[in-house]
Amino acid sequence: MMRMLKVTGITAALMALIVAAAAKAAEPKPIAAEPLTQRHAFDGDVSINITQDLEGLPEQAVSFDDASHLTVVRFTI
């Protein structure tokens, strides 16, 4: 009888750990932003045009008249 209680207790403890780990794994991680470059001042007139063409979506374009307003950031989702 005592051995059965030990096995039941160990099984219950393991199940509690598994449920706790599964609940923690279900929580989404926050979105991280990592700047890869800083803004730089350019001499003269430097402009930039960025296009994005993803499959199944219309092409998008963004233009900057002054490229010194641009920085590169990596987003981890």
Confidence (pLDDT) at 8: 62
Q: Cα–Cα distance between 47 and 63 in angstroms, integer?
A: 8
The secondary structure of the chain as a DSSP string is: -HHHHHHHHHHHHHHHHHHHHHHHHHSPPPPEEEE-S-----SS---EEEEE--TTS--EEEEESSGGG---EEEE-
Report if pTM > 0.75: no
pLDDT at position 7: 52
Predicted local distance difference test score (pLDDT) of residue 1: 47
Per-residue pLDDT tens digits of the chain, which is 77 residues long: 445 545 566 666 667 667 666 666 667 778 899 999 888 888 888 888 989 999 999 999 988 888 887 888 999 98
Domain locations in the chain as residue ranges? 2-76
